[in-house]
A and B are shown apart, each in its own frame.
Chain A
Amino acid sequence: MDMQVTDLAVARGGVTVLEGVAFTLSGGQVLVLRGPNGIGKTTLLRTLAGLQPAVAGRVVAGEVAYAGHADGVKAMLTVAENLGFWAAVNGVGGVEAALEAMNLGALRHRRGADGSAGQRRRLGLARLLVTGRKVWLLDEPTVSLDVASVALFGAVLRGHLGQGGAALIATHIDLGLPEARDLDLTPYKAVQPALDEVFG
Chain B
Amino acid sequence: MIALLLRDLRLAMRAGGGFGLGLAFFLMVTVLVPLGVGPEFEVLRRIAPGILWVGALLACLLTLDRLFALDFEDGSLEVLATAPIPMEGVVAVKSLAHWVVTGLPLTLIAPGLGVLMSLAPEGYLWLVVALAVGTPALSVIGAFGAALTVGLKRGGLLLSLLVLPMYVPTLIFGTDVVTRGARGLDPGTPLLFLAGITLGAVALLPFAAAAAIRANLK
Contacts and interface: CB of A to CB of B under 8 A. Distances in A.
Interface of A: 49-53, 63-77, 81, 85-86, 88-91, 124, 127
B36 interface: no
Given A81-B7, A85-B7, 20 more contacts: A51-B82, A68-B75, A68-B78, A70-B78, A71-B74, A72-B75, A73-B74, A74-B11, A74-B76, A75-B16, A76-B15, A76-B16, A77-B10, A77-B14, A85-B4, A88-B2, A89-B4, A89-B84, A90-B83, A124-B75
Interface in B63-101: 73-76, 78-85
Contacts of B79: 66-67, 72, 86, 127
A66 B4 contact: no
A64 B82 contact: yes
A152 B73 CA distance: 27
Given A52-B218, A76-B15, A85-B3, A71 B75 contact: yes
Interface residues of B, number: 24
Contacts of A53: 218
Given A52-B218, A76-B15, A85-B7, A91 B74 contact: no
Contact of B7 (A52, A75, A77, A127): A77
Contacts of A49: 82
Contacts of B76: 72, 74
Contacts of A72: 74-76, 78-79
B41 to A, nearest CB: 46
A85 B217 CA distance: 22
Contact of A89 (B3, B10, B11, B218): B3
B80 A74 contact: no
Contacts of B83: 86, 89-90
Contacts of A85: 3-4, 7
B3 A51 contact: no
A67 B16 CA distance: 26
A63 B85 CA distance: 12
24 contacts: A50-B81, A50-B82, A51-B82, A51-B217, A51-B218, A64-B82, A68-B75, A70-B73, A72-B76, A72-B78, A73-B74, A74-B76, A76-B14, A76-B17, A77-B10, A77-B14, A85-B4, A85-B7, A86-B79, A86-B83, A88-B3, A89-B4, A89-B83, A90-B83
A126 B75 CA distance: 15
Interface of B: 2-4, 7, 10-11, 14-17, 73-76, 78-85, 217-218
B74 A75 contact: yes
Contacts of A86: 79, 83
Given A51-B82, A72-B74, A86-B79, A81 B4 contact: no
B78 A74 contact: no
A17 to B, nearest CB: 14
Contacts of B218: 51-53
A49 B78 CA distance: 10
A74 B16 contact: no
B82 A90 contact: no
Contacts of A89: 3-4, 80, 83-85
A127 B80 CA distance: 12
Contacts of A67: 79
Contacts of B80: 89
A89 B87 CA distance: 12
A74 B3 contact: no
Contact of B84 (A52, A63, A66, A76): A63
A186 B218 CA distance: 23
A63 B7 CA distance: 24
B81 A91 contact: no
Contacts of A76: 11, 14-17
B16 to A, nearest CB: 6
